[in-house]
Amino acid sequence: GINRQGGCLVIAQGGLAPVGIMLAKRNPLTISNLMLTSPPTYTDVTTAVPTAELQRNYEFLRSPILGSIAFNLLESRALIKFFSNRFLFQEECDDDWLDETDKESVVAARTPVQAFNAGLLQHRSFEEDLKESLQPKLIVSGEGDKRAVDRQPYEEQLDTCFLTTIPGLNVLPWESPKEVVDLIKELGY
């Protein structure tokens, strides 16, 4: 959205936080606020994963045999439900979530998913980008997320950063859309 002063709000969910961070850093005149919902911990965002590890992960996921077997398992509705209930949702995921993942689990989507799951967004530290971007940052954690305490350094290390907690665990825009919209409105959008 665009606020009354004409600036945009960027919202990045989960492991896509580096994308939001880069957008904010590169577009200081058009982006006035950055909201990260359930981002990786500050340490994870500011510590690069070694290139050899990223390459090993990516090659495994791209493997015609092992990668294909892994994706066939990972894309099964039963495993998605198990993973979602264990790691993504505070309450059980709903059928709408599972139906959406069924629609999105297609071979054409595998390459970007493989890159994401290999950790390619963690190829470098984003500490400089975070510290040099002047936009206020709002870090949103779910009340059931045990990693919330490890997000404290965002507020400690960044001048214009605030932490808040809303109901949910990890996929907050899906779990708590009203609360996310309320936060957006509080930011003036």
Predicted pLDDT at 107: 86
Other C-beta atoms closer than 10 Å to the C-beta of 54 total 18
CA distances from 48 to 101, 115, 123 (A): 29, 15, 5
Going by pLDDT thresholds of 50, 70 and 90, the confidence category of residue 124 is very high
Going by pLDDT thresholds of 50, 70 and 90, the confidence category of residue 2 is low
What would the pLDDT profile of 33-70 be if each residue is shown by its tens digit?
999 999 999 999 999 999 999 999 999 999 999 999 99
Alpha carbons 111 and 61: distance in angstroms, whole number: 9
Average pLDDT, the chain: 94
Q: In three state form, how does the secondary structure of the chain look?
A: CECCCCCEEEEEEHHHHHHHHHHHHHCCCCEEEEEEECCCCHHHHHCCCCHHHHHHHHHHHHCCCHHHHHHHHHCCHHHHHHHHHHHHCCCCCCHHHHHHHHHHCCHHHHHHHHHHHHCHHHCCCCHHHHHHCCCCEEEEEECCCHHHHHHHHHHHHCCCEEEEEECCCCCHHHHCHHHHHHHHHHCCC
pLDDT at 3 over 70: no
Q: How confident is the model over 83-99, as a mean pLDDT?
A: 96
What would the pLDDT profile of 125-164 be if each residue is shown by its tens digit?
999 999 999 999 999 999 999 999 999 999 999 999 999 9
Going by pLDDT thresholds of 50, 70 and 90, the confidence category of residue 6 is confident
Percent share of the chain, pLDDT over 90: 89
Q: How confident is the model over 156-185, as a mean pLDDT?
A: 97
Q: At what angle do helices 110-118 and 66-74 cross, to 10 degrees?
A: 100
Predicted pLDDT at 52: 97
Q: Which of 157, 169, 189 is nearest to 14 (CA)?
A: 169
Alpha carbons 9 and 139: distance in angstroms, whole number: 13
Predicted pLDDT at 1: 61
Q: How confident is the model over 117-127, as a mean pLDDT?
A: 95
The pTM score is 0.92
Residue 21 main-chain phi, psi, to 5 deg? -60, -45
